[in-house]
A and B are shown apart, each in its own frame.
Chain A
Amino acid sequence: MNLQVLSSQFWSLCLQGVALGFIYVLISLGYTMVYGVLRLINFANSEVFMVGTFATVVAQVGILQNQTNSQPLHGFRLLYTLAFSLGFSMLICGVLGVLVELVAYRRLRALGTNRLASLISAIAVSIVLLETTRIVTFSRPQTSPRLLDKWSFGEIAGANFRIDTVAVIVSGIVIFFALDRFVTKSRLGKAIRAVSMSEENSKLMGVNLNRVVSLTFFIGGLTTGAAAFFYTTVYETTQFNVGFNLGLAAFTAAVLGGIGNLRGAFYGGLFLGVLEQFASAILGSQWKSVTVFLVLVLVLLLKPNGIFGEAVQQTRT
């Protein structure tokens, strides 16, 4: 137990926890969107995230020709580079999401097979992505250049408001609310929700099921791709196995908040980020996972559908 850390670092831990939490939120949206529509966990999402981190590096180093040891960029060039790599990562992940659905889900769904079959095929796709990346990168970690100079807006109560921390939080909020609005207000969003409530009935109402499912995977890929970009910008390094821990955390966040429901992913992600920071700081990093999963079990014992599971039964994505 290390309580002295709280006296000087309390707000710093909160801020870092929220920033980490927003990365979890963005990945868990990928899980939760798919679950909302298909009632299936997309186990390939963690590897979609991993591919996104590499896509960001490829965009910055390969396409825009920044050297790994280059100096930080400024002005228009910086904005352009960041916007391009964000867009590139989101696009790659979105398309990859659609492909994963085509390969691992669509045919099995058409044949009306057991749900477990698509679960296994999703795991298979995830292993293929993981191992291919491992072989292509020789298991070596890849670094992304520090293009964004990490200056700070200033410190408040010991919490350092660094540009990347702030950017993750602000963008996380923007992306989340844009998605929330899309799902609740737009025509396509309504179609997604209709399929989520009843596949059969929405088919009768003329909703093109395959298109809606593809769209869901695409949107899930987009948010996961955004998460991959922010992850790479903050931590500046990636590795073939980066998806496992992050994916597990995001999945946990989704279950914690109530899977299949956007707001659940939001609060679940933030809660998990902050919980992890405090558990590592007070009990020691070796107890982080133990604490997180104990809390998860406790939450599920008390509320089997997650913290927000029941309240939003009717407004599922």
Chain B
Amino acid sequence: MNKKIQRSLAVVSAAALVLGVSAVSSAMAAPKTVYLAFQAPLTGPNALTGQDELTGAKFALSEYNATNPSIKVELVLADDQGLAEVAAVVAPGIASNKKIIGLIGPAFSGATQASLPAYKAGGLALISMSATRVSLTDRKAAVNGFPIFKRVVANDQYQGPALARYATKGVTAPSVYLVDDKTAYGKGLADYTSPSLKGKIAGTDSVPENTSDYTSVVAKVKASGANVVIYCGYAPDAAKFVKALRDGGYKGIFASGDGTLKATFPNNAGNTAAEGARLTAADVPFEDVATAAQMVAYTKLTGIKIPGTYVTSTYNATNIFLTCIKQGKTSRAGIQNCITSGSFKGVAGDTIKFDRYGDIVGGAAVGAFTIKDGKITYVAVA
């Protein structure tokens, strides 16, 4: 029932978008205006992610428009709620609107996969800021995004090695205990982490999500003599696990991936258990890479002092489109060629160039974080 309503609403809003946009464009003909779509969850339980990302796109656009360009750019918002079934309905509407020449997003992997058929048929170039599923750019996957899909975020194939690197950094003779939570995400990340730990793995375990008693895992960690524990799973379980480890007398390093990079992790782990934990995420905080002037402008535009997650990658994705538009590319094919062959600059001064299947050559940056005084603190690029 609820799903049905959502779906029909999505159809209506997509239709409104198409009609609305064409009405606007016919009204003003002289100064050329092109449209970029932005697809992310803007309502629903995952709305925060999409709304945070949207600020990055809006900010990039405001910087572009401030230069008085000859080609005006406007955003068209497409709300897929982060759900594959909603995305499948929204995507054809966007794809059929020929005024839209590129798409920032989609934000979620499942929604991306469901949107691909429509965008492939329409030849619309996508640059995702947060879809990390490996198969989207995997040459051998049954459904990949070739040739239209690109992403400026590190997939788990890159996060895994970065996590291994950061977890064992500065440890003499690291001996790692690798634990996952049996979910598609946790197991996947663990599988991409373990090859980088060759010869250093003291043991592994797969503890189902929502387990409450971690004492047997703690016993194994202690028996193995490991000095680094890497947990691939989500924040609530990571909090229980790190607490059990510390209570059980484990003194070594605790490390985890982006599933744990949430305020719930230090909050639930209590006063001291999470302190010093090493976390990675395929995101670098915008305030750490933007200039001070940019931050002032960003806060003025959005009213937000501390940007949320994936603002950096959304800003970069939007700027790639804007760079191409500045070069006079205003058709879908032109944008597609420009993105595929061009070389771009990220906000941190990094070079962005895409490989054949859509990932950044050399891998996008993975951020390293730690817990200091109960707060998540950015350290460096892992």
> Are the chains A and B members of one assembly?
yes
A residues in contact (CB < 8 Å) with B: 2, 4-5, 7-9, 12-13, 16, 20, 68-69, 71, 140-141, 143, 145-146, 150, 160, 162, 231, 235-237, 239, 241-242, 244-246, 276-278, 280-281, 284-286, 288-289
Contact among A160, A231, A237, A244 for B240, CB-based, below 8 A? A237
B211 with A245: CB separation less than 8 A: yes
Residues of A within 8 A of B236 (CB): 141, 237, 239
Which among B219, B267, B270 has the greatest number of chain A C-beta atoms within 10 A?
A: B219
- Counting residue pairs across A and B whose Cβ atoms lie within 8 Å, the total is 98
Q: Which residues of B contact A162 (CB under 8 A)?
A: 247
Contact of A143 among B213, B215, B249, B267 (CB under 8 A): B267
- A residues in contact with B249, CB < 8 Å: 160
Task: Please tell me if the beta carbons of B270 and A143 are within 8 angstroms of each other in the complex.
Answer: yes
State whether the Cβ of B206 lies closer than 8 Å to any Cβ in chain A: yes
**23 A-B contacts, Cβ less than 8 Å apart?**
A4-B223, A5-B223, A7-B223, A9-B222, A9-B223, A12-B215, A16-B215, A20-B213, A140-B264, A143-B268, A160-B249, A231-B212, A242-B212, A245-B211, A245-B212, A277-B219, A278-B216, A280-B207, A280-B217, A284-B205, A285-B208, A286-B206, A288-B208
Closest-CB distance, B229 to chain A (whole angstroms)? 14
Q: How far is the CB of B34 from chain A (nearest CB, A)?
A: 41
Judged by DSSP, the binding face of A is helix
**A5 and B204 alpha carbons, distance in the complex (Å):** 13
**How many of chain B's residues touch chain A, expressed as a range?**
20 to 34
Chain B residues near A242 (CB-CB < 8 A): 210, 212
B interface residue numbers (CB < 8 A to A): 182, 203-208, 210-213, 215-217, 219-220, 222-224, 236, 239-240, 243, 247-249, 264, 267-268, 270-271, 374
In the complex, the answer to whether A5 meets B220 with C-beta atoms within 8 Å is yes
Q: Which residues of B contact A280 (CB under 8 A)?
A: 205, 207, 216-217
Say yes or no: A16 contacts B270, CB within 8 Å.
no
With A141-B264, A235-B213, A245-B210: A281-B219 Cβ-Cβ less than 8 Å: yes
How distant is the Cα of A245 from the Cα of B210 in the complex, in angstroms? Answer: 8
**Known contacts being A9-B220, A141-B268, A286-B206, is A277 close to B215, with CB within 8 Å?**
yes
Q: Of B219, B270, B374, which is within 8 A of A146 by CB?
A: B270
Determine whether the beta carbon of A150 is less than 8 Å from that of B210: no
Q: Nearest Cβ distance between residue B188 and chain A, in whole angstroms?
A: 15
Smallest CB–CB gap between B253 and chain A, Å?
Answer: 21
CB of A53, distance to nearest CB on chain B (Å): 10
A5 engages B219 (CB within 8 Å): yes
Q: Are A13 and B208 in contact (CB under 8 A)?
A: no
Q: How far is the CA of A5 from the CA of B203 in the complex (A)?
A: 11
* Nearest-neighbor residue (CB-CB) of A244 within chain B: B210
- Closest A-B pairs by Cβ, 3 of them: A280-B216, A286-B206, A9-B219
Residues of chain A contacted by B203 (CB below 8 angstroms): 2
Query: Complex formed: what's the CA distance from A241 to B271 in Å?
Result: 25
Q: How far is the CA of A160 from the CA of B250 in the complex (A)?
A: 13
In the assembled complex, the Cα of A195 lies from the Cα of B203 at a distance in Å of 53
For A246, the chain B residues whose CB sits under 8 A away are 212
Q: How many Å lie between the Cα of A280 and that of B208 in the bound state?
A: 11
- List chain B residues, Cβ under 8 A from A236: 243, 270
